[in-house]
Structure 1
């Protein structure tokens, strides 16, 4: 895409962002335009009063009362302009804040609809930048840029109309100054704008490295890799710094140049004015030229100030257009897992069936799962085991539609999961992920997490903790079930996080449980006790357990052995020991010969 086409698309994106304004916002915007027009009118009235005062003072027999009246007029215009400016800034700030609040909510809402595959299209660091830094750029542009975009043309046109016909010599000098300023601005912007556009993408890289370092800080310290991480951060930080320096060095040349042009413009107006006054033959002619020179100088400065304000817009616009495009990429992204319409059967069941299921990731060329067919009836426990990377987690993630199948069908209670409304489907499922995720809040908040469990009482929370074998360590925490849990559960151990995650699923009382390698951090005794308690409370619920330990799954009704994305064996522990080589190898690596018998 060419540079001009890219810029055109950026401007279109910025306009599309502004379409999120409500009718109330548009009314406030119109009010801002009226206030800005009033402000410009009052600012441009002041030179008229200056001209009148100059004439009165120089005129023989001039009235001092008229000078005072004109002075009061100038004060009124100055105070009126100040009030209009304050009111405009106040309204514009509120307009920008509410607009960006709406955009941020829209962006977050769409991210919540993303599937696991959709999340891979945007890095976490980039999504954070897009919902914070990028939206801040839009807020600054709306709060300041829109005011300038409205004010600068009004001021420039109005000032030009005021000075039109005063003197072609003064007009020529003003035009020359404006042309010189535009040439300088164009040259500077040619070098600065591409660098401003790159800032947002480079900020993504900085956020990515910082987030990666903070998440892995224990590993970094354990391997004495602080120096390596500092070098890694130094590269992205250095690139961002060099880009910013290059952009702002260009701007550093621009402002002194514009200031010099303004000084030369003032000097030129007074020099030409002196020549014209000297050439005038009459006193009244000299007085009129002197008054015109004072007024023209003031208006010429207003014209130049209008162009300076436009320069500020040019500085803000590139980042705002890039930010708008990045925000709209998230808002416009259509989730690959589309919502269905079915609420499911009215009578709860919990039956799950895979029919010749195959699956491959969007960026992959080979199937991760192929030819998967089995049926889990209500109340059954189905265990899935196999080597690392064989597709165990992927298989169970197809049930709540974190991904959609590439081929075949996954049915829950006889209905294809793609026909369900996602919230209706997931309200049937108690899911415990491979990586235990806890949220900042209390123990009770985490156990009672989600719409399906928000109505649960404290007694329900305690029962869930009992089943998950978490009551003992929770009772030792200050506040019990109201004890504080840090973001990510960093203030408790891995095993404790797993147990609270399991309690969260139990508290939901679902039709289907999915435990994705959720017992790995538990000792054997706790694992055995927890599974026994879980059987007592799960009742008729269907249970899926992904595990690496034979001891965790040997009592399951059905064990599915995966090998390279295919079912290598299926049956009970005893059946697989005698019929499945893959299962037997796994069992022999973990159990003694006596236990195998």
Structure 2
């Protein structure tokens, strides 16, 4: 439809331009127009017998041509805008979709500000590129059509205008293209910096207020935002400035042409129709030229945003992740690690090295060790968020690979140290990722009860429909943690992973939660990283890690006897002893 409208619009511009000649001619010399063979045929058909009777129909014809051309141009603008913004919505959704489907390792390796900037601002830049590209196409077609019409009126004047205007815009384009490229790079980089400083300043607002670092973040924001807006302003100036020069040159040319034509045979009266047609053509062509140039400048100025968006669109998605009907991987016996090693990049040291471990179904396994010992990385490997650089992980003897990873993850529920809560109801946060109308409220209440938060929630005015605020700001740290535990229990997964999930709870509440977990089905496998060793004391097995290696494993009491490093860990927590 766009291309049809573009061609129709160009054709109507030619028609409206062609209507200028008879319109001005009939006003200045109706007898000459009436003698034209084509006019005679039309006059006979319309029962027009005198030259004076031509004025009204030709005036109506001219006005109609101009109005129809304007209406079609307006429709073309609406179609162009609608097409570009619908395409922009599709682009934004696709970038977001492909980003969410990326492996965990990819998310860990890059800054979220870059992605957020790409999905929002940079996609908007691509929308502008699409809009200006369509504008450029329609402008070029319109210019070519007007030029052919002007050539039919006066060849010399039309060719002079073509070469004069073309050379001017060509020289300007050559002069500014490097500036546009530099501005494009600056815009892409500074947009990411602006998002980054906004996230850091607002995300850590408590520390910002306590430390009084508002001036620092304002300064960082000011520097990034100033460069960004200067580059945007420069692009707008580069795109719009030639217009005023060209309008001045155009008026000078029309004035000179009027003087030259008036000195020819027939004087002003005979020259007026040609002069009017050329002036009308220039009035149509100059805006089209400027619009086309501005469109090119906008495309060049958003080049880096286009490149960044294309790179985000190129993110690959594993086919197995798109399979919504995938079965859950069977887990009946054990999880095994054989010579598993991992590091975050080729130039990084090993985080885990040649680990061998077996976790039986239904067991409670605790992982302990100092900071940097590899506990969280090991659980990320268990959950399939990371892939070993060597060795293998198998479930009931079946090796985990890309095809079976998603099926395995359907068995797992994860409770991290820092719970992410959305600005939604408690029920929606417990049944995370499920549409509100599909939430099983009985199941929500059951999970909340097991996580020892049901009594608090039910004492609120709206109960499970109470909104928690952004990041759960209306809840205490312990309450947020228990909602995270309830979220994992709501999934009714076969494997629960607790990554220091009870660290924010007081001793009594932690003990109550652990007892609730212990009462869950013996078929449930639980993996726990704990800061407090009391959390893992009653585990079936405790795995002690140090420098990415398993240094000891066994029950709590046996580790106290056999592992000096474990005794040091216990010694650092005076509330624990052999007899408590």
In the superposition, the TM-score normalised over structure 1's length comes to 0.87
- In structure 2, the partner of 1:226 is 214
Mapping of residues 419-438 of structure 1, within 5 Å:
420-438=403-421
- In structure 2, the partner of 1:510 is 493
Q: Take 2:68 and 2:413, find their aligned partners in 1: how far apart are those partners?
A: 64
Deviation at residue 412 of structure 1 after TM alignment: 2.5
Deviation at residue 480 of structure 1 after TM alignment: 0.6
Deviation at residue 531 of structure 1 after TM alignment: 0.4
Question: Aligned pair in 2 of structure 1 residues 168, 336: CA closer, same or farther (>3 Å)?
Answer: closer
Deviation at residue 523 of structure 1 after TM alignment: 0.3
Deviation at residue 380 of structure 1 after TM alignment: 0.7
Residues 336 and 395, structure 2, Cα contact 8 Å, conserved in 1: yes
- In structure 2, the partner of 1:392 is 375
- In structure 1, the partner of 2:23 is 53
Mapping of residues 357-436 of structure 1, within 5 Å:
357-362=340-345, 364-418=347-401, 420-436=403-419
Q: Take 2:427 and 2:495, find their aligned partners in 1: how far apart are those partners?
A: 22
Deviates more, 1:235-244 or 1:399-408: 235-244
Deviation at residue 390 of structure 1 after TM alignment: 1.3
Task: State which of 156, 159, 167 in structure 2 corresponds to 1:179.
Answer: 167
Query: Which runs of 5 or more structure 1 residues have no equivalent in the other structure?
Result: 1-30
Asked if residue 459 in structure 1 is aligned to residue 429 in structure 2, the reply is no
Residues 329 and 404, structure 2, Cα contact 8 Å, conserved in 1: no
Task: State which of 505, 513, 527 in structure 2 corresponds to 1:522.
Answer: 505
Asked if residue 69 in structure 1 is aligned to residue 57 in structure 2, the reply is yes
Residues 20 and 277, structure 2, Cα contact 8 Å, conserved in 1: yes
Question: Aligned pair in 2 of structure 1 residues 71, 121: CA closer, same or farther (>3 Å)?
Answer: farther
Deviation at residue 344 of structure 1 after TM alignment: 7.0
Aligned residue for 1:374, secondary structure, equals: strand
Aligned residue for 1:164, secondary structure, equals: helix
Deviates more, 1:459-468 or 1:62-71: 62-71
- In structure 1, the partner of 2:116 is 128
Asked if residue 82 in structure 1 is aligned to residue 70 in structure 2, the reply is yes
Residues matched between the structures, number: 560
Deviation at residue 419 of structure 1 after TM alignment: 5.0
Residues 340 and 420, structure 1, Cα contact 8 Å, conserved in 2: no
In the superposition, the TM-score normalised over structure 2's length comes to 0.90
Provide Cα deviations, 1:574-596, integer angstroms capped at 9, x if missing partner: 11111112111110010358546
Provide Cα deviations, 1:133-181, integer angstroms capped at 9, x if missing partner: 1222232333x32442232222222222222264455245413243224
Asked if residue 307 in structure 1 is aligned to residue 301 in structure 2, the reply is no
Deviates more, 1:502-511 or 1:196-205: 196-205
Task: State which of 112, 117, 120 in structure 1 corresponds to 2:105.
Answer: 117
Q: Take 2:8 and 2:237, find their aligned partners in 1: how far apart are those partners?
A: 36
Residues 385 and 559, structure 1, Cα contact 8 Å, conserved in 2: yes
Q: Take 1:538 and 1:452, find their aligned partners in 2: how far apart are those partners?
A: 28
Task: State which of 284, 291, 294 in structure 1 corresponds to 2:273.
Answer: 291
Residues 195 and 247, structure 1, Cα contact 8 Å, conserved in 2: yes
Q: Take 1:541 and 1:344, find their aligned partners in 2: how far apart are those partners?
A: 19
- In structure 2, the partner of 1:194 is 182
Deviation at residue 561 of structure 1 after TM alignment: 0.8
Residues 460 and 466, structure 2, Cα contact 8 Å, conserved in 1: yes
Over aligned residues, Cα RMSD in angstroms? 2.7
Deviates more, 1:225-234 or 1:391-400: 225-234
Provide Cα deviations, 1:281-300, integer angstroms capped at 9, x if missing partner: xx4x8644332222122223
Q: Take 1:223 and 1:192, find their aligned partners in 2: how far apart are those partners?
A: 41
Asked if residue 34 in structure 1 is aligned to residue 4 in structure 2, the reply is yes
Asked if residue 263 in structure 1 is aligned to residue 285 in structure 2, the reply is no
Aligned residue for 1:409, secondary structure, equals: strand
Question: Aligned pair in 2 of structure 1 residues 257, 135: CA closer, same or farther (>3 Å)?
Answer: same
Task: State which of 187, 191, 203 in structure 1 corresponds to 2:191.
Answer: 203
Question: Aligned pair in 2 of structure 1 residues 350, 476: CA closer, same or farther (>3 Å)?
Answer: farther
- In structure 2, the partner of 1:163 is 150
Provide Cα deviations, 1:234-264, integer angstroms capped at 9, x if missing partner: 2212222333344445456433222322222
- In structure 2, the partner of 1:558 is 541
Question: Aligned pair in 2 of structure 1 residues 279, 343: CA closer, same or farther (>3 Å)?
Answer: closer
- In structure 2, the partner of 1:445 is 428
Aligned residue for 1:441, secondary structure, equals: coil
Question: Aligned pair in 2 of structure 1 residues 533, 121: CA closer, same or farther (>3 Å)?
Answer: closer
Asked if residue 217 in structure 1 is aligned to residue 202 in structure 2, the reply is no
Residues 196 and 318, structure 1, Cα contact 8 Å, conserved in 2: yes
Query: Which runs of 5 or more structure 2 residues have no equivalent in the other structure?
Result: 35-50
- In structure 2, the partner of 1:94 is 82
Question: Aligned pair in 2 of structure 1 residues 176, 95: CA closer, same or farther (>3 Å)?
Answer: closer
- In structure 1, the partner of 2:136 is 149
Provide Cα deviations, 1:299-330, integer angstroms capped at 9, x if missing partner: 23433333212112112212444333212212
Task: State which of 506, 516, 528 in structure 2 corresponds to 1:533.
Answer: 516
Deviation at residue 462 of structure 1 after TM alignment: 1.1
- In structure 2, the partner of 1:279 is 264
